[in-house]
Copies of this chain bind each other. A is one copy, B any other.
Amino acid sequence: MTTAPGRPRAIDAEDRLARAAVEIYGAEGWAGLSIGSVAKRARMGKSSLYLRWSTKGELLADAFAIFGAHVEDVDTGRIRSDLIALSMKLVDAFDGPAGLANLRLQVDAATVPELREVERRMRETQVAAAREIVKRGIARGEVPSNTPVGLLLNAVCGGVVNYANTRPPERRPLDRGEAESFCVRLVDLVLRGLAASEPV
């Protein structure tokens, strides 16, 4: 989401374009996406888009970069609140039209050559940022130095993505308060499990 509650951002042309691209891709897939369809939905001239992007793959990659989860922005100073903030970014990323686009990208990465690199870059950026959260927690002594980083992150990120993805269409969009309460309980469950297994 470009506009998190409490942090309104000016919806400029770039945001509008990114949202249009992600929404069209989410709803209609790779075949339904074109520079022309994005220009039309964003109410902009097609020629101005062609000045910047020569293919729809490049446009979609930039759209995901603008509209993505931006895990790298999370740094609250504590691992618990970092993991909760990370979880809420995933809720936003996997709920609504962007959610469909994120899911679709996972499928298309395996079958559409142009999207393989887009998916890889996004995944690697997000995984690296998430690992940094845990590493900072280790450096601050909040979790043991031998914390199984991948296991911890799979439990937290996977738990949240599953919570968002298995929601039936008629129960969307997610209630943000409910989602936040889920994220807090999930992070606490996982951190308690960690503390119980390896004394700090």
Q: What residues make up the interface of A, taking CB atoms closer than 8 Å to B?
A: 27-29, 100, 103-104, 106-107, 109-111, 116, 120, 123, 127, 148, 151-152, 154-155, 157-163, 165-166, 168-169, 182, 185-186, 188-197
Contact = CB atoms under 8 A, between A and B. Distances in A.
A195 B192 CA distance: 9
A99 to B, nearest CB: 9
**Tally of this chain's copies:** 2
A161 B162 CA distance: 8
A70 to B, nearest CB: 18
A172 to B, nearest CB: 9
A161 B123 CA distance: 15
Contacts of A160: 154, 158
17 contacts: A27-B111, A28-B111, A103-B107, A104-B107, A120-B168, A123-B166, A127-B166, A151-B185, A154-B159, A154-B163, A155-B159, A155-B190, A158-B159, A158-B160, A159-B159, A189-B197, A192-B197
